[in-house]
Amino acid sequence: MLRQPRAVWAVAFACVIAFMGIGLVDPILKDIAAQLQATPSQVSLMFTSYMAIMGVAMLVTGVVSSRIGPKRTLLAGLALIIVFAGLAGASDTVGQIVGFRAGWGLGNALFVATALSTIVSAAAGSTAQAIILFEAALGIGIASGPLVGGLLGEQSWRAPFFGVSVLMLLALVATAVLLPATPPTGRRTSLADPFRALRHRPLLLLGVTAIFYNIGFFTILAAGPFALPEAGILEIGWIFFAWGLLLAFTSVFVAPLVQRAIGTVPAIIAMLALFALDLAMMAVFTTHVPVVVAGIVASGAFIGINNTLITEAVMGAA
C-alpha cells in the first residue's frame, strides 16, 4: 500500500491539510466567542455554514470535474480554501467568519470529492487499499488540526486561519507539480445524475445514514469545547489531538479487522450504536469533565471505524 506513485502522495498530502481545517477551529471556539462577543450557538455556525455548503456543493463536483478535469478541479478547490481561510483570519465579526467558512466549504467540496476518486484511480493496489490510504490522510489531518489550532491559537485566534492558507499554498504547489495532467474523459455528468443515483436503494440508505451520523460527528466538534469550561486553548487542542489520533488509528488498522470479523453492515450498525451511547453518556454527565473528555476521545474510535466502513460501502454500492 505504501508503494504509490508520487501523484498519489501529493494528493494525500493535500488531503491532510484540507482535513486539518475541520478541527483547526475547535481550540479557538471559546476564544473567538469571547473576543468577538458571540454566543456558543453563533460560533457553532462556523461548522454549519462550512458543512452545509460543502454538502450541497459536492453534488456538483462531478459536473465540474467532468468538464475541466480532476487536476484543475483539485487546484480550484485548493485556491478557494487559501483565499477564504485567509479572509476568515482577517475578519472582525463572527458573521464574516461564518460567511467565509461557507466559501471554504465550497473549496473543500471541490477538492475532497475529487481527491478520493483521484487517489482510487491513480493508486497502486486494490480500491480498499486506496480508500484506507485516503482515510489515513483524513485521520492525520483531523488529528493534527486541533493541535496546530491550539499551538497557533495561543498567539492569536486569527493565526490558525492564516496557517491553513500557508499550508494549503504548499499543497497547491505540490499538486500542481506532481500530479500529471488529467483532461476530462468520458461522458459529461449533469446536475441530475447524483439524484438519479439515489434511485439505487443502497446509496439512498447510506446517504441518509451519513446525514444523521455526521450530525453526531460535528456535535462532538462544535459542542465539545463548550463542555470543557475550564480548559484553555492548548488543553482543548491536546484533547482533540488524542481524539484525532484514535480516529486515524482505528480508521486504518481497526476498521479492516472489524469488517473481516463481523461484516460491513453489522460493523456499521455496531459503531453507530456505540457512538449513540457515547453521546448519551456525555449528555447525562455534562458537568463531569473527566467523563466528557473520555467521551470525546473515545468517540474518535467509533468515528474512525465508521468513516472507513461507510466510505467502502458507498464505493461498493456505487
- At 273 the pLDDT is 96
Q: What total of structural domains would you count in the chain?
A: 1
**Is 240 part of a structural domain of the chain?**
yes
- At 92 the pLDDT is 87
Residue of 144, 101, 303 lying closest to 218 (CA atoms): 303
- At 54 the pLDDT is 85
- At 109 the pLDDT is 87
Segments of the chain with pLDDT less than 70: 1-2, 184-186
Q: Greatest CA separation found in the chain? A: 56
pLDDT tens-digit readout, 77-132: 999 999 999 999 999 888 899 999 899 989 988 888 788 878 877 777 777 777 77
- What is d(CA 312, CA 318) in angstroms, rounded to the nearest whole number? 10
**Is 1 part of a structural domain of the chain?**
no
Q: What contacts 258, CB < 8 A, 6 or more positions away?
A: 267, 270, 271, 305, 309
Q: Which domain holds residue 288?
A: 6-317
- Helices 40-57/201-223 angle, 10° precision: 150
AA identity, residue 308: T
Nine-digit cell string for 32: 473567538
- At 21 the pLDDT is 74
Return the CATH number at 32: 1.20.1250.20
- What is d(CA 233, CA 102) in angstroms, rounded to the nearest whole number? 24
**Is 195 part of a structural domain of the chain?**
yes
**Is 250 part of a structural domain of the chain?**
yes
